[in-house]
Structure 1
Amino acid sequence: MKDIAYKIFKMVLLIAVFVLLAGCNYDNQLTSKADAKETIGRAAWLAYWDLDAGGKDLQRIGKKLGKLSYFGAYFDAHDRMFIPQELSDKRKELKAKKEKYETYLTFINDKQNADESVIMKDIEVLRRIFATTASMDRHIDDLIALTLQGKYDGIEIDYERIWNDEQIAKSFSIFVDKLYKKAGENKLKLRVVLEPGTPFSIANLPQGPEYVVMFYNLYGLHSEPGPKANRGFIEKTVRQMKALRGETSVAFATGGCLWGDNGKRSLLSEAEAKTLAVTQDSKTQRDEESQCIVFEYQDMGVSYQVWYADVETLNYWIGIAKEQGVNNISIWRLGGNIDINKIE
């Protein structure tokens, strides 16, 4: 009982420290003109399932942002795009505050079925909307209409798992070209998010949109324990993405992942990971190659390992990107980050 009480005490104490730090950081938001110029290329995502925590991070980092993406709209049972109501409500709330950054509506290829179950990163829905010129054009019109209704500055496309299917990949390039032209006619900008495994040199993507490459998932729910990114991964991917034409950006991920030797795997925010390390009385260390924080613990006979990024990790990754000549940085995502305002 004493051990349990001690752990609870430490968890409460840690949460109190987090709240105090957040308050101090919020009060210290003033940025100089030089800071604003340095961070003009910063962008971040606000996810519909974590709007409260994301909104708190936004309050602390908002003055450093050049772009904010609202994530996101996805397909309904009839292959038409819709925006979660809570995200639309947050958009109205923030728009009323007249924030000083560009806003984008992110479209993803998740699909909600009639029974409200969701297929993540659905390839078949893309196959259907790309099947004919008419279906592709109707889809583009849907994207334009939803973006204009929400009074966003631009469209962001985040369709995944497309490059393993030759026909979908070919159709996607045509789709991006047509969408870019139609968006321009409506005075909308276009960002296209790409996975790190994209065959950049042969993808035949048009010049015009901003291409945002994910620099994460080196390790994750799909793999054994390890960092979301490290120096070698970042340097290799930057070299490969130079084949893209036009403006490019790199996206780094906050938080981390937990792996259990019983097969359990789950994503964690930075705050969740730090709280877990304290409650489990775990010794943490910083991995040299990735600068991620790593710790292990046992619970109910199961051994767990956690890797996660804090602001020091993120700034290390950003520094590597800058070394490679990339200054446009996007952060996935807002919510559960302790010192997000200290992003460089």
Structure 2
Amino acid sequence: MRYSVTVLFLLFALLLSSCAGAEPLRSGEHSPVRLTVWQTYWDREDGAAEYAALRRQVEAVSLFAVCYDENDALLVPDEVRTMLAAQKKGKAETYLSFTNDVLGKKRVEKDRELLRRILHDDAAIDRNVDATVRLTRELGADGVELDYENFAKEKILLDRYMIFTYRLIVACVQQHLKLRIVLEPSMPFDAGFAPGAEYVVMLYNLYGKHSGPGAKAERAFIEKTIERMHALPGSPSVAFATGGCLWQDHHVILGGSGEKRFITQREAEELAARAHAEPVRDEESAALHFAADIDGHKTEVWYADSETLNAWITCAANQGIEQVSIWRMGGNHEIGKVRSR
């Protein structure tokens, strides 16, 4: 009898702990966070309108993006220059976002071959540091944002990148420029990053074009990544993404066989309305999702709205995060409801 009571007590305790862990992810009270947003050159007008709805909470704006041309020279789209001129009239800090994208006869995103060339030896690294800092000073931005991606698994390239960041930190200090360094969540945070920059970890694309359906971020992903971030110097900083992803004709066992693409919140809502689908909020991610037959395809969509973003911010702030960035302005609905405090 005593054994049975003990077993029942343990089962009851397990049930309670299971229920507690199943609490839906939602927005709530949290410590204030410093808010940064991205504006992109290909969505300048819509991005500017959304920024206006959120600007009272925004402390910094990152202008995306400075790219490279086919001769490995830095290239600034005219739209970035226009956005920077407009932002200089406001109070928010301005950053130029430098990427390893190539804009030429065709656009190449996250180009590792480019990085191999511009970081291949000390002289090339010094030229790239000088060009980056000089362009930022010439255009009058407050700081540099480094957003090189898709290379961390290549050890030699990672080592060259680390040398580049060390020298860029020194150059920015000497030129009185602020510096943000954006890192993918797969980056080895214990690689030896130096103090002197704000390290921004991308907490998104947990699910996307590389996978089956799901949210861009969820509670376990956020918490585990933030725990790993303790290896980084300085005040912790993360980024969350608006919008979502669409999957066509996805098979759980066989994998996807149809189109996969990122979509904005507005596009997702238009698809749901067209298909007469009622989006449901996922408990682990606070993201919205629906499935429907659209244009002859079985389609599943997951996306974020302002409540999703607020839930992610709440989760991160409660894990000690002090700075949050939002990718990106443009294509959203009621972005002004996002709260930094």
- TM-score using structure 1 length: 0.86
Is 1:105 paired with 2:100? no
1:271-304 alpha-carbon deviations (Å, 9 max, x no partner):
1111211111112111110011011111232100
1:177 aligns with 2:177: no
| Residue of 259, 264, 272 corresponding to 1:269 | 264
Cα distance in 2, alignment partners of residues 175 and 168 from structure 1? 10
Q: Provide the C-alpha distance between the structure 1 equivalents of 2:48 and 2:62, rounded to a whole number of angstroms.
A: 13
Q: Which residue of 2 aligns with 1:57?
A: 50
Name the structure 1 match of 2:296. Answer: 301
| Structure 2 residue corresponding to 1:217, chosen from 183, 202, 205 | 205
Please show how residues 191-340 of structure 1 align to structure 2 within 5 Å. Answer: 191-201=180-190, 203-261=191-249, 262-340=257-335
- Partners of 1:48 and 1:84 within 8 A in 2: yes
Q: What letter corresponds to residue 185 of structure 1 in structure 2? A: Q
Q: Is the 8 A contact 1:209 1:247 kept in 2?
A: no
**SS of aligned partner of 1:196:** coil
- Aligned-partner residue type, residue 143 of structure 1: T
Counterparts of 2:231 and 2:86 in 1: how far apart (Å)? 39
Task: Tell me the secondary structure at the aligned position of residue 234 of structure 1.
Answer: helix
Residue identity opposite 1:300 in structure 2:
D
Task: Verify the 8 A CA contact 1:255 1:309 in the aligned structure 2.
Answer: yes
1:213 Cα shift? 0.2
Asked which structure has the greater RCO (Cα within 8 Å, sep 6+), the reply is: 2
Counterpart residue type for residue 280 of structure 1: A
Query: What residue number does 1:166 align with?
Result: 155
CA distance 1:300–1:339, shift in 2 (3 Å): closer
Aligned to 1:188: 177
Q: Which residue of 1 aligns with 2:82?
A: 89
Task: Output the amino acid matched with 1:287.
Answer: D
Q: In 2 relative to 1, CA 205–323 (structure 1 residues): closer, same or farther, beyond 3 Å? A: same
Residue type at the aligned position of 1:160: E
Instruction: Look up the equivalent residue of 2:121 and give its one-letter code.
Output: T
C-alpha distance in structure 2 between counterparts of 1:210 and 1:139, whole Å:
20
User: 8 Å contact 1:231–1:290 — kept in the other structure?
Assistant: yes
1:247 deviates by 2.5
Deviation at 1:130, TM superposition (A): 1.2
Task: Give 5+ residue unaligned stretches, structure 2.
Answer: 1-30, 250-256
Q: Distance in 1 between matches of 2:76 and 2:193?
A: 27
1:143 corresponds to: 132
Question: Is residue 127 of structure 2 the alignment partner of residue 128 of structure 1?
Answer: no
Letter in 1 for 2:267: E
User: Which has the greater radius of gyration?
Assistant: 2
Distance 2:86 2:314 in 1: 34
5+ residue gaps in structure 1? 1-36
Q: Secondary structure at the match of 2:55?
A: helix
How many angstroms apart in 2 are the aligned matches of 1:281 and 1:59? 32
Aligned 8 A contact 1:80 1:139 in 2? no
Q: Distance in 2 between matches of 1:90 and 1:315?
A: 26
Q: 3-state DSSP class of the match of 2:290? A: strand
CA displacement at 1:126 relative to structure 2: 0.8
Mapped partners of 1:94, 1:324: distance in 2: 31
CA distance in 1, matches of 2:45, 2:282: 31
| Deviation readout 1:42-95 (Å, 9 max, x if unpaired) | 001001111111011011111111110000001111111111112112222332
Residue type at the aligned position of 1:235: E
Residue 137 of structure 1 and its aligned partner are, at CA, apart by 0.8
Tell me whether 1:343 sits opposite 2:332 in the alignment: no
Q: Secondary structure of the equivalent of 2:301?
A: strand
Contact 2:206-2:215 within 8 A present in 1 as well? yes
Answer whether contact 2:189 2:232 (CA < 8 A) is retained.
Answer: yes
Which residues in structure 2 correspond to 1:24-39 (within 5 Å)? 38-39=32-33
**Correspondence for 2:143:** 154
TM-score, structure 2 normalization? 0.86
Q: Is the partner of 2:231 in helix, strand or coil? A: coil
What is the CA–CA distance in structure 1 between the aligned matches of 2:213 and 2:103, rounded to whole Å?
A: 31
Match of 2:130, as an amino acid?
D
